[in-house]
Structure 1
Amino acid sequence: MIQRIRSGSLDGIDGFEVVVEVDAGRGLPSFQLVGLPSTAVRESRERVLSALRNCGLAWPKGRVVVNLTPADVEKRGPSVDLAIAVGVCGVTERAEPGARGDAVLLGELSLDGALRPVRGLLAIVTAAAATGRRLFVVPLGQAREAALVPGVTILAASTLADVVRWRAGRGCLETIVPASPPPCRREPSPSLLAFLAHVPARARRLAVLAAAGRHDLLLVGPPGSGKTQLSRVVGTLQPSLTAPEALEVARIHGAAGLLSSPELDLRRPFRSPHHTATRAGLLGGGVSLRPGEVTLAHHGILFLDELSEFSPGVLDALREPLEEGRIAVVRGAGIRFWPADFQLLAAMNPCRCGWHGSRRRECRCSERLRLAHRSRLSGPLLDRIDLFAELDEPEEPLRSDGIGDPGRIWELAVADAAAGHARLTSRSRGRPTSLEEARRALDAPAAALLETAGASLGMTVRSSMRCAGVARTLAALGGRSRANRDDVVEALSFRREQLAVLA
């Protein structure tokens, strides 16, 4: 009698259902595994054999064939170990699973029969639940992670023997109740509080503006001007993730093996890759098909420090995700589209030595070196960035513009960013997709000013759209339904055409 056990496997960041078919027949003792198994799956024979023996379960006599369907998709990882072992037990005992045969079994086996965690469990459970599966048996250590998926029943097991007894109706498994996500507390470090209290008011407004509208931002300034600190302020000011967003982020990070807690984390991701990152490291792919930094920063922030030190080819590859909110990963077997809706925060020095325009030190770079430094950033990439700002070195001693308590300053900044974000979300979703749509957010004088300024500054259509989006956020921060001339003037002041160091 053929045993059919439901399981699952991981493909990049997406899971898919796998049906494990096990058949035992007459012939010389052998074990054959078919259905495009990877090396890790082919090695399951030894794990299953040892686990069965150490749990006191019998291995069938004769020829054993295991088929993994769908047969045209490669199965990666040991997530099907448990299903194979239970199927082998079923053909040995000729057991009828009954209603429990619809359960999806997931888990890697150790040699003593204990269940071990599998990478990407949340993605696999999510994919199976989307096809109507509702009952899952998973390793005890990952049960709370799997329970994050709404509408499913999660049973936790410690050993193969526990699952075999449960499936035969001779035992029970613990049902896991999903936990509520903990409250998201955005409490900055003392250093960030002190920094925010001492920076100029324009820098504070820039941070609130970028956080409220999730605008891409490039900061230029000499070492010690606060570029990195201001970027971290923007990240901490971000509104919390919604539950569906947090679940999607957890699914992606779980597939990458980076999920640190079984609870939903409502904080937005903050990814900061080194400037030596490769194209595959930033965009994803590679031999093992792993998500890159742009996907790991989905619904969060991608912070690129020392932007001009990144490879120009790597930077230009960011144009697609910045525009589309997703990345296309091309492999020999096909093309995959992974989410990459991130907010880009970048920082760079004005020149190679870092001191061009500094009041404290003299720049050692020639004009040719400064030009070469700026030319590493292509025009199309800069065209996709909303906000540009040049930070000056702080005065000594630092001053707080007459505003006192740092905690109070922080509370006001958080409230402003949250209110602006809420108003934007209630009116529209995402950035304007056309210049006409962008102009609808402006009143008539503001639209006329933007058109005139765009012509005089040589702005592209995309630049004008980005500028209109910033003006819309400024209007939301001011409690206005449409942007006026003052909003457009302020938005234009943050454009790269006004930034001398990139001119």
Structure 2
Amino acid sequence: MSTARTWAVALTGVDGHLVEVEADLSNQTPEFRIIGLPDKSLGEAVQRVHNACKNAGLDLPRRRLTVNLSPASLPKHGAGFDLGIAMAALAAGGAIGSRSIAATVHIGELGLDGRIRPVPGVLPAVFAAARAGFDTVIVPRGNESEARLVPGVEVRAAGSLAEVAVWHGADVEVPDVDVVESASVPVADHPRLDLCDVVGQGEAVEALLVAAAGGHHMLLSGPPGAGKTMLARRLPGIMPLLDEQEALEVASIRSLSGEAVAALDRVPPLEAPHHSASVAALVGGGSRTARPGAIARAHGGVLFLDEAAEFSRVALDALRQPLESGAIEVHRAGFTARFPAKFQLLLAMNPCPCGNYGVRGSECICPPMSIRRYSTRLSGPLRDRVDIDLQVSRVAASRAMGEAGGETTTAQARVRVQAARERAAHRWRSSPWRRNADVPGTWLRQGTQRLPAATRSPLDRALERGLLTLRGYDRVLRVAWTMADLAEIEQPGVEEIGRALHLRRGLPR
């Protein structure tokens, strides 16, 4: 047979697209060409496939071989197409069965000696194959544990080209080869931080519970040493564990980032980029391939920007669109990649460049203009998207030395947060939303959950006086509902509205 076809997967962001790999032999001058909008690394597959087949004892016919990657208009990149190209070429020459490969998706990079090397993004690629209705996917052995996380599809892991060829009917000897392990970066096993380590910050701990229970964005401002970073790094531990679908989405993004994925991690991720990070580091991208940035890697968890005022203004303003839409799009000339980016934003900053402005017993050496410029590094539109603006003070020495630990542990806090989330999910069960932070303001102001006028009066006055925008009005309502869920009451009262307004405006008590 002179024509054969199999399947591979092209990734654009976390979205996988099935690509038909067609191989055709013709009686012309021997040549091996790949068409269908391949990038440079994919164009180099000609030599990799040729040498791998020869060293596996599967010589290609000495005729003109044309491999087409369809649809031709879809950009394709990377060496993950090598295995599919080799299988289609061998089937076109009659070395293996064409019917067998036509029902199989092949993913993997070939070494010159015939070994199959792991590639990034196997998890979303296998997901795409399963959604397209394929039952069998062949992947590199180094990606086996990652690929088997996808339910409902048979995953075959191979270490060499000869091994795959034998599965499809070839009569060759399968050599004993060393498995090529994934070159991805292993994920560090961070110790679980407990909330009881926080001493003397009862108000901040309670605000952290509100943020976790409702999915609210939060800003912690205060002098160095007040415990802002300590509090922030304990937020993922008190958030509810991810369900299977959310954990798979997080694992897919980690796979695209080049991280090792051996099992599903149900703990929400914490992404904390350095304040020197560029816009591209936050948003993601690349000239040929789209890699997820910090915003996408924080999906399902927390994006923590420590020393937020030290980030560039452009980088901070890049957060505004994903905060509203829950997704980030990377636009390039040849493609548009979309990544999920539903995260909680947690900002921490000092009151001034030296950190001592307004601190009792300390002297601030910053000129007034420098203090003003520092405080305005967070733009008004970005601040307007923050639900909780809390000022954190340093803990007095008497409290730090006198208290053995905080009153609330991470386990106790997670139980409270989970119960509050369940109350909110039950209340919004007839809508597509489950967290208070996701509910549109019109539902809170005009729907069946509208609060009485007497309860809303502090908010109405703040809106009339220009102290709140309408977006801020809605965010205060959401925080008040979360406080009611934590307190296990039916709806927020004047006390919850007042506390939510206090947290919104960042006023010291």
Pairwise same-fold verdict (TM > 0.5): yes
Cα distance in 1 between the residues matched to 2:459 and 2:451: 11
Matched, 1:478 2:481: no
Offset of 1:146 from its aligned partner?
1.1
Cα distance in 2 between the residues matched to 1:74 and 1:372: 45
Secondary structure of 2:79 counterpart? coil
Cα distance in 2 between the residues matched to 1:432 and 1:18: 36
Q: Quick one: which amino acid aligns to residue 212 of structure 1?
A: A
Name which of structure 1's ranges 436-445 and 416-425 shifts more when overlaid on structure 2.
436-445
1:255 equivalent in structure 2: 256
Distance 1:41 1:408, change over 3 A: same
Q: Quick one: which amino acid aligns to residue 435 of structure 1?
A: G
Distance 1:301 1:172, change over 3 A: farther
Matched, 1:273 2:273: yes
2:165 equivalent in structure 1: 164
Offset of 1:442 from its aligned partner?
5.3
Cα distance in 1 between the residues matched to 2:170 and 2:423: 55
Structure 1 length normalisation: TM-score? 0.91
Matched, 1:223 2:224: yes
Distance 1:100 1:49, change over 3 A: closer
Match of 1:188 among 188, 192, 199: 192
2:370 equivalent in structure 1: 369
Q: Quick one: which amino acid aligns to residue 264 of structure 1?
A: L
Distance 1:38 1:341, change over 3 A: same
Cα distance in 2 between the residues matched to 1:385 and 1:401: 34
Offset of 1:273 from its aligned partner?
0.7
Matched, 1:495 2:504: yes
Name which of structure 1's ranges 316-325 and 431-440 shifts more when overlaid on structure 2.
431-440
Distance 1:186 1:330, change over 3 A: closer
1:176 equivalent in structure 2: none
Distance 1:446 1:67, change over 3 A: same
Q: Could you give the per-residue CA deviations for residues 287-326 of structure 1, whole angstroms, max 9, x where no partner exists?
A: 1321111111111100001111111111112111111111
Secondary structure of 1:328 counterpart? strand
Secondary structure of 1:498 counterpart? coil
Contact 1:5 1:83 in 2 (8 A): yes
Distance 1:231 1:497, change over 3 A: closer
Offset of 1:497 from its aligned partner?
5.9
Offset of 1:457 from its aligned partner?
5.5
Contact 2:49 2:85 in 1 (8 A): yes
Q: Quick one: which amino acid aligns to residue 272 of structure 1?
A: A
Secondary structure of 1:488 counterpart? helix
Q: Could you give the per-residue CA deviations for residues 22-77 of structure 1, whole angstroms, max 9, x where no partner exists?
A: 11221222111111111111111111111111111112112111111111112101
Q: Could you give the per-residue CA deviations for residues 147-195 of structure 1, whole angstroms, max 9, x where no partner exists?
A: 211211111111110111111177999xxxxxxxxxxx99733xx4553
1:410 equivalent in structure 2: 410
Name which of structure 1's ranges 305-314 and 20-29 shifts more when overlaid on structure 2.
20-29
- Equivalence map 1:303-382=2 (5 Å): 303-382=304-383
Secondary structure of 1:495 counterpart? helix
Cα distance in 1 between the residues matched to 2:504 and 2:279: 28
Q: Quick one: which amino acid aligns to residue 385 of structure 2?
A: R
- Equivalence map 1:230-245=2 (5 Å): 230-245=231-246
Match of 1:437 among 440, 443, 448: 443
Contact 2:14 2:338 in 1 (8 A): no
Count residues with an aligned counterpart: 484
1:7 equivalent in structure 2: 8
1:390 equivalent in structure 2: 391
Cα distance in 1 between the residues matched to 2:506 and 2:412: 31
Offset of 1:99 from its aligned partner?
4.6
Cα distance in 2 between the residues matched to 1:241 and 1:296: 15
Name which of structure 1's ranges 437-446 and 75-84 shifts more when overlaid on structure 2.
437-446
Offset of 1:480 from its aligned partner?
1.6
Secondary structure of 1:240 counterpart? coil
Contact 1:78 1:107 in 2 (8 A): yes
- Equivalence map 1:89-104=2 (5 Å): 89-93=90-94, 95-99=96-100, 101-104=102-105
Secondary structure of 2:399 counterpart? coil
- Equivalence map 1:70-149=2 (5 Å): 70-93=71-94, 95-99=96-100, 101-149=102-150
Q: Quick one: which amino acid aligns to residue 487 of structure 2?
A: G
Contact 1:246 1:264 in 2 (8 A): yes
Offset of 1:95 from its aligned partner?
4.3
Contact 1:60 1:91 in 2 (8 A): no
Offset of 1:453 from its aligned partner?
3.3
Cα distance in 2 between the residues matched to 1:457 and 1:499: 20
Contact 2:100 2:168 in 1 (8 A): no
Offset of 1:207 from its aligned partner?
1.4
Distance 1:58 1:427, change over 3 A: same
Contact 2:49 2:110 in 1 (8 A): yes
Contact 1:201 1:401 in 2 (8 A): no
Offset of 1:369 from its aligned partner?
1.1
2:36 equivalent in structure 1: 35
Cα distance in 2 between the residues matched to 1:21 and 1:10: 19
Cα distance in 2 between the residues matched to 1:388 and 1:499: 10
Structure 2 length normalisation: TM-score? 0.90
1:179 equivalent in structure 2: none
Cα distance in 1 between the residues matched to 2:493 and 2:117: 59
Contact 1:23 1:65 in 2 (8 A): yes
2:151 equivalent in structure 1: 150
Cα distance in 1 between the residues matched to 2:173 and 2:385: 56
1:284 equivalent in structure 2: 284
Contact 1:58 1:92 in 2 (8 A): no
5+ long unaligned stretches in structure 1: 174-184
Give the root-mean-square deviation of aligned CA atoms. 2.4
2:295 equivalent in structure 1: 294
Cα distance in 2 between the residues matched to 1:334 and 1:88: 28
Offset of 1:415 from its aligned partner?
1.8
Q: Could you give the per-residue CA deviations for residues 448-497 of structure 1, whole angstroms, max 9, x where no partner exists?
A: 33222332452100001100000010000011221111110110110136
Offset of 1:387 from its aligned partner?
0.2
Matched, 1:454 2:448: no
Distance 1:295 1:432, change over 3 A: closer
